[in-house]
Chains A and B, each alone.
Chain A
């Protein structure tokens, strides 16, 4: 599905990447441990996390994830937004918890990083 659909499903606010809402997303990973995302490399994936550190964006960059979602309405510090803008990584904020955010996406067909449902 397109990133714009993910924005709707998660009732998310787009902090960075309004120009990238056409991006295709098929998989997702949720973690507060960066290595879990780094270990499960995948194409066209979204990365949900409750950690709003600059390392969440750097992890997204090296793992090549298509977008980052901060759950539970967590607002990242300005430096995190600046890095995401500079490196062109879409960043969303969802009011839902990690559990509910994942559930909503999974119910609409987003698979795990390994492609399993």
Chain B
């Protein structure tokens, strides 16, 4: 049963507001009294995903679903898609532009960081269509 679902819109190339959705999610989870370590993991996954979307994905959404036994984050964008998923998951591999690197992003750590912090991580992508990521965080630890 889903207790709560919230959808945040993420705008491509908008670095002023990039990360706002994840900060909102973090504050929301704080207010319901979740374990700070779990909040941090969820916040990092949301933020890395949000930044990926702003840098590569064009417009999209970051959604959170809160259930009694788990929390799920969904990223859904209509960007260019990822040609080689296996390569994209490798630490250090990045296709980010230099201007993003100057802002401290594009180190090729986003997707590996997300996978590391989520209990379940699934990604699907189609070139020309976009990318979807689902990250599950168990509440039964």
Interface residues of A (CB under 8 A from B): 31-36, 38-39, 41, 49, 51, 53-56, 58-59, 61-64, 79, 87
Contact = CB atoms under 8 A, between A and B. Distances in A.
A36 B23 CA distance: 18
A101 B26 CA distance: 30
Contacts of B20: 58
Contacts of A87: 23
B36 to A, nearest CB: 7
B25 to A, nearest CB: 9
Contact of B47 (A36, A38, A49, A56): A38
B103 A41 contact: no
A59 B110 CA distance: 13
Given A33-B104, A38-B44, A64-B43, A55 B19 contact: yes
Contacts of B43: 61-64
Given A33-B107, A58-B47, 18 more contacts: A31-B104, A33-B109, A35-B107, A35-B110, A35-B113, A36-B107, A36-B109, A51-B103, A54-B16, A54-B19, A56-B104, A58-B19, A61-B19, A61-B26, A62-B43, A62-B47, A63-B43, A79-B16
B75 to A, nearest CB: 15
